[in-house]
Amino acid sequence: MRIRFWGTRGSVPTPGQRTVRYGGNTACVEVRDQSGSLLVLDAGTGLRELGLNLVQNGEQLSFDLFLSHLHWDHIQGIPFFRPAYDARTAIRIHAPQHPKPLKELLGLGMDDPFFPVDLDAIPAKIQMQEFASGTERSVGPFRVRSIRIHHPAPALAYRVETDGRSMVYATDTEDPFSGKENPVVAFAEGVDCLVHDAQYLDSDYKKGWGHSTIATAVDVAVRAKAKRLVLYHHDPDRSDDALDRIGADAQRLARERGSAAEVLVAYEGMELTV
């Protein structure tokens, strides 16, 4: 399994000198199996960069896109995804269940007067499927499971398995502070790679905003016996230098907890082989 990060920031894009190394685009992760089949996790502004790369490589696309939830920073890239304007492209979008139809909700940001091209006018073939918590879905060579996580909007974590390898994508989770048993721990048991929300430090944690601290991300990885932890969904105010310090502190904390897990801080362009 190959993983590439196209957007690692949370809440809002943050271009500028303070975020050059870790990047300012919002959530988007590319996953490939050994044959090159594509699966995409979230559609933040990083999706635009992924799309440009796919076009440059001349790929004709049929793939599945799994949205953790529908907050802006996880869907902003859809209108700017270049392959969506090619009729040969086929995209199957999976997302948490909502009271309103998924197509209606995604279309709000593209309908007049917010964007010049309506969702229905995009040439690509787009299918939409809601994904219930606790269910499993096979898409091409990938097996994908979901669980509901604690966030202000309906949100899911995903476990993706292929070629005998596994990853868990658990962004935008406040479960460590919910007062209930954290479902991500069991969900990520023994996982090869855990991509986990790490927006806050203990000192700036905001209760009820739906995110984890770096220390609690490490705690989840240790308890789940994850082989690798990737800190993700960086706070928009977090500079490159601050993320350098966070990475070192998190790795030290994992060692102090007796874990051999490698701890990484996600940056745009980072590629991992699992």
Reported as a single tens digit per residue, the pLDDT across 153-200 is: 999 999 999 999 999 999 999 999 999 999 999 999 999 999 999 999
Cα separation, 32 vs 193, whole angstroms: 14
* Choice among 29-33, 35-39, 57-61, 113-117 with the minimum mean pLDDT: 57-61
| Per-residue confidence band for 246, with pLDDT thresholds at 50, 70 and 90 | very high
Q: pTM, whole model, 2 decimals?
A: 0.97
Instruction: Name beta bridge partners: 65.
Output: 40, 93
Cβ partners under 8 Å of residue 120, min gap 6: 107
- Cβ count near 184 (within 10 Å): 28
Q: Is the dihedral of CA 43, 52, 91, 107 positive or negative?
A: positive
Is 123:84 a contact under the CB 8 Å cutoff? yes
State mean pLDDT over 65-84.
97
User: Is residue 260's pLDDT more than 90?
Assistant: yes
Domains of the chain: 2-273 (3.60.15.10)
State mean pLDDT over 75-95.
97
* Choice among 56-65, 161-170, 211-220 with the minimum mean pLDDT: 56-65
pLDDT digit string, tens, across residues 112-121 = 899 999 999 9
